[in-house]
Structure formats: structure tokens, C-alpha cells
């Protein structure tokens, strides 16, 4: 059976190759594939000859919608499972980063950028996006790459000098700061609830940092010296602000730039910046033992795997539940820190984690409800 050819554009995927798969329960909608009309055949038989995307245009006796044929139902909760798997892979990468010896965080970031480039380059060639992007968007892409690479370097430094769980918790203040920066630069709505969540996040960071002027000079439960802990806290906060700034830039750019191109800028600018910083700091050196080399490969591979599963989760699940489930990063960080680093979290850290997680979940829920409300209004 031959299908109607509506031109090359009808068969091509959406711009950027991001056309979502058609859900099993929506294949008879306006976007369903329809067969060519056959002369001399009564209209009553047209319903039986309809085609769907899974059957390559075959008529109903061979179609998945034939009477008595069961449709393939999507696996419920698969997107949330991908989110948990992504959180676990990111936490493992952070653990291996803690295990690396005698390597600066900038050098680890450089290796991570190499992995990113190796993954993204084939995608750029396949989708023919070019390497520079639209002229009007290049400045935004540059700052996205610059701020994103700074966020990565500072986060890796924080992982190295402070407890793994503490640094992970601080990074989860990113949604709160994103809302604040979007209100300042993009004029997005910022309500009293958003202000409350921001205060919760700041409270959580204070409980983790435990500055001496509030908690006294004898601060317990700190990995190493308090000065390193304070430096790590400042680096983690700066990393979070940089990451929040990249999200605001991506919102400004919108869907006019392919996401592969965004990652490409992030990797290339990050690699150039890391190489320059390593020569200035005189910190460039290869790992002296095979274990550290294996850890570097694992950090790049696990980080890339975490990004892939997180992207896959966002493709098949709503952003609100995914954002909430991503807080499993904190749970995995606490577990891995206790099992492999022999560092038990203090009650201050647990309290700070609860404040930050509550703030992050509250922000995600409000954004989710707002998007659902807007979708219903558009339907009306």
C-alpha cells in the first residue's frame, strides 16, 4: 500500500530532530498517517484501511489496531526511573572525584569537556547545525558556555574540599536562584511563595556552612579545616549562581538553537578556559597512577550517562515530577559518603538538606502547577 507523499517537509522531523514520539493513545489524531484514497473503493471501508505510525501504513488486518490486538502501553514511571538512575550516576561521578588524588579540579573539568565534545560532535554533523550557531544568538551561546564551564570547575572544587553531601545539597538551591534571576532579567513573575522558598534555601546553606559568628568558633563535623570548608561553600554557591545564570540564558535563547549546539559551546569554551587556567596555575600533569586515570574515564562516562538519562526522562515525563525526583541526588550523596568515605552527616547538615530539598521541591511544584494551568487555559 502506498502512502500519500506530501512533500519532503512532511516526512522530516521537527527542527533539531526533537520531534516527540506519538503516544499509543493519540495515533488517530490530526497527526496520524493517512493512506492515499483508492478510486472505486467505498468510503465505508476507509475506516478499516486507516494506518498508524507503528504499522508503516499497513491496512487494519495487519495493523496494531486490528480487533482483538492489544496496544503497546507505555511503561508507567519509566521517566522517574530514568531520573533516579541519572541521580545515581551523577552521585557516583562525584564519589570518584573525591577519590582522585593530586589532580586539580580544573584538570578534571578539562577531561570532562573532552568527553562532552566527543559525544556532541557527531550530533552536530548529523543535524547539520554548524559550529557557531545563528549570528544573533552567538553572544548568548558564548556566555552560556563561559558560565557553564565556571559552574563545573567551581562545583568540582567544592566536591574536593568539603563533604560530598554538603556540596550536593548546596547545588539544589539552583531552581530557587533561577527563579530570582529570571525575575530580575526576564521580568518573570516572582511571588511571595518564591521569596519564602528562597529564604528556606538560604537557611539551608547557612546550616551547612555554619559560620563561626553564628555557631561559635568550635564547629564540629567539618571535613578538613574550616577554612577549606568555607572556601568549598563559597565555591558551591558561586557554582549554583553560575548554573542558574546559564538557565536564564537558555530561556532567553529559547528553542531557536539546537541543544547540541548549546552543549558544544559549553564543552569548547570550558576546555579552552581550563587549559589556559592550568598553564597559569602550573597545575597540568597526567595522573601518576592507573587508578586515577580510570577514575577520570569513569567521571566523564558517568557524567555523560547521567545527562543522557536526565534528558530522556524529561522527554517522556513532566518537568515537575522530574525536578522533585532529582532530589534523590542528595539521598545518594549521603549514602555514598557514609559507605565509602566514612563521613556521617551531622544534624546541622541534615537540617540544611531538609530546608534546601523543601525549597527545591516547592519551587518545582509551583512551576509545574503554573505550566499545567497555562496549558488548560490554552485549551479553553
Q: Digits of tens for pLDDT over the chain (380 positions)?
A: 333 433 333 333 333 333 333 333 343 333 444 444 444 434 444 444 444 444 444 443 444 444 444 444 456 678 788 888 988 998 999 899 888 877 888 888 888 888 888 888 888 888 887 788 778 788 888 988 899 889 989 999 999 888 888 888 898 888 888 888 888 888 878 888 888 888 988 898 888 887 766 666 566 666 667 788 888 899 999 999 998 888 888 777 776 777 778 888 888 998 998 989 888 887 777 776 678 888 888 888 888 788 778 877 876 777 667 777 888 888 898 999 889 888 888 888 888 888 988 888 888 787 777 777 777 777 77
| Contact between residue 333 and residue 164 where contact means Cβ atoms under 8 Å apart | yes
Which of 182, 188, 181, 166 minimizes the C-alpha distance to 237?
Answer: 166
Q: Which backbone phi and psi does 107 adopt, to 5 degrees?
A: -70, -40
* Torsional class of 220: left (φ above 0), alpha (ψ -120 to 50), beta (otherwise): beta
pTM, rounded to two decimals: 0.70
How many angstroms separate the CA atoms of 306 and 209, rounded? 28
pLDDT in tens, 286-302: 776 678 888 888 888 88
Amino acid at each position: 500500500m502506498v502512502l500519500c507523499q506530501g512533500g519532503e517537509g512532511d516526512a522530516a522531523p521537527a527542527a533539531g530532530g526533537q520531534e516527540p514520539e506519538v503516544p499509543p493513545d493519540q495515533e488517530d489524531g490530526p497527526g496520524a498517517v493517512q493512506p492515499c484514497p483508492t478510486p472505486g473503493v467505498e468510503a465505508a471501508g476507509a475506516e478499516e484501511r486507516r494506518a498508524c505510525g507503528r504499522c508503516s501504513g499497513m491496512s487494519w488486518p495487519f495493523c496494531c489496531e486490528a480487533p482483538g490486538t492489544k496496544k503497546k502501553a507505555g511503561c508507567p514511571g519509566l521517566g522517574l526511573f530514568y531520573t533516579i538512575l541519572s541521580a545515581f550516576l551523577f552521585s557516583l561521578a562525584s564519589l570518584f572525584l573525591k577519590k582522585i588524588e593530586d589532580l586539580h579540579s580544573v584538570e578534571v573539568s578539562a577531561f570532562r569537556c573532552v568527553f562532552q565534545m566527543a559525544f556532541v560532535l557527531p550530533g552536530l554533523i548529523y543535524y547539520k547545525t554548524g559550529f557557531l550557531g545563528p549570528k544573533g544568538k552567538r553572544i548568548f551561546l558564548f556566555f552560556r558556555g563561559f558560565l557553564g564551564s565556571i559552574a563545573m570547575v567551581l562545583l568540582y572544587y567544592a566536591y574536593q574540599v568539603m563533604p560530598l553531601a554538603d556540596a550536593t545539597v548546596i547545588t539544589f538551591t539552583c531552581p530557587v536562584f533561577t527563579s530570582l534571576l529570571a525575575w530580575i532579567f526576564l521580568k518573570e513573575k516572582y511571588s511571595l511563595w518564591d521569596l519564602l522558598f528562597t529564604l528556606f534555601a538560604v537557611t539551608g546553606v547557612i546550616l551547612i556552612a555554619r559560620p563561626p559568628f553564628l555557631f561559635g568558633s568550635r564547629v564540629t563535623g567539618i571535613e578538613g579545616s574550616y577554612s577549606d570548608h568555607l572556601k568549598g561553600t563559597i565555591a558551591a554557591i558561586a557554582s549554583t549562581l553560575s548554573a542558574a545564570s546559564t538557565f536564564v540564558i537558555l530561556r532567553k535563547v529559547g528553542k531557536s538553537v539546537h541543544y547540541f549546539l548549546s552543549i558544544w559551546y559549553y564543552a569548547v569554551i570550558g576546555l579552552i578556559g581550563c587549559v589556559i587556567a592550568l598553564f597559569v596555575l602550573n597545575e597540568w600533569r597526567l595522573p601518576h597512577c592507573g587508578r586515577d586515570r580510570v577514575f577520570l574515564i569513569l567521571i566523564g562516562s558517568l557524567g555523560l550517562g547521567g545527562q543522557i538519562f536526565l534528558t530522556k526522562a524529561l522527554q517522556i515525563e513532566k518537568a515537575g515530577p522530574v525536578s522533585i525526583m532529582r532530589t534523590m541526588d542528595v539521598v545518594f550523596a549521603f549514602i555514598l559518603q557514609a559507605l565509602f568515605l566514612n563521613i556521617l552527616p551531622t544534624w546541622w547538615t541534615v537540617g540544611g538538606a531538609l530546608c534546601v530539598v523543601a525549597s527545591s521541591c516547592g519551587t518545582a511544584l509551583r512551576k509545574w502547577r503554573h505550566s499545567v494551568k497555562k496549558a488548560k487555559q490554552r485549551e479553553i
